[in-house]
Structure 1
Amino acid sequence: MTALAAATLYAGLFGLLLLILKINVIRGRMGQNVMFGDGGNEAMQRAIRVQGNAVEDVPIVVLGLIGLGLLDAPVLVIHALGATFLAGRILHAAGLGGSSGTSPGRYFGTLVCMIAMLATAAACLWYAVT
């Protein structure tokens, strides 16, 4: 697998994750009969925030992975960053989706995502200047 193919793999996986989160919001809207906003419903608020948090973070990491692929970074680096970030996003979604308060999934998911985002940014800087 080439570096660009590995990066594209994660672009596809994150695309599927975002679609799943969107479908979850749509299901919540239909089930709660809420067509706009959250209707004051906590479960709806959580579903919207899970999707929103992913929409805020995923694009920059995917762009970083594609940049690394274009710079021909080692495939192992791209897989390590992509898989770690994906695991963090899934943990975060499960944690926040299940509880509006603090939860291990939300805590560790956020932590893993931040570390993976920082590592992706650092890798982009490293491979861009070397």
Structure 2
Amino acid sequence: MIAITPFYAGIIALLFVTLSFRVIFRRQTAKISVGTGADSDLEKRIRVHANCAEYAPFALLLLGLLELQGASAWLLHLMGLTLLAGRFMHAYGLGSTPQVIFARKNGMVLTFAMIALTSVANLLCAIF
């Protein structure tokens, strides 16, 4: 049974829903049903939401697989916290006007680091 990954999946899912509502609310305000209507704020919100959709599921899958392989709790929490920090920093950095480049860039660095380290840990657990 896994107990740590669902905690991080739950928080990331709440972030995802929040980002979804930001897109929906902008669509309603700008009266744009499909596409972006050349609305730069809507375009930005869509990209923030999409970026979360692109990276978070894969990262959570890797975290869950690592947990199923019996990785230590401290490693799982370290990777989960790295992912959370990365996703929140990126969403804040890209979603701000003007963008907070430091947060956007470092959010992606943390996300990539989590994915890379969790991938290597999964490989090592599978081999040994």
Asked if these proteins are the same fold (TM beyond 0.5), I'd say yes
Give the C-alpha shift of residue 72 in structure 1.
1.3
Aligned to 2:25: 27
Q: Among 83, 87, 90, which residue is 2:88 paired with?
A: 90
CA–CA separation in structure 2 for the residues paired with 1:124 and 1:60: 13
Amino acid of the structure 2 residue aligned with 1:114 = F
- If the length of structure 1 is used for normalisation, what is the TM-score? 0.92
| Sequence identity (%) | 32
Q: Deviations over 1:27-47 (max 9, x none)?
A: 111111111111101110110
CA–CA separation in structure 2 for the residues paired with 1:75 and 1:102: 33
Amino acid of the structure 2 residue aligned with 1:79 = H
- Segments of structure 1 that go 5 or more residues without pairing to the other structure are none
The answer as to 2:103 corresponding to 1:113 is no
> Secondary structure of 1:5's match?
coil
Aligned to 1:69: 67
Q: Deviations over 1:49-78 (max 9, x none)?
A: 001011110111111111111111101111
Range with greater deviation from structure 2 (45-54 or 28-37): 28-37
Preserved contact between residue 29 and residue 44 of structure 1 (Cα < 8 Å): yes
The answer as to 2:91 corresponding to 1:129 is no
Aligned to 2:41: 43
Aligned to 2:101: 103
- Segments of structure 2 that go 5 or more residues without pairing to the other structure are none
Q: Among 20, 28, 51, which residue is 1:53 paired with?
A: 51
Aligned to 1:10: 8
Give the C-alpha shift of residue 116 in structure 1.
1.2
Preserved contact between residue 92 and residue 100 of structure 2 (Cα < 8 Å): no
Q: Deviations over 1:89-127 (max 9, x none)?
A: 101001110147571111111111111111111111111
Where has structure 1 moved over 4 Å in runs of 4 or more?
none
- The Cα RMSD (Å) is 1.5
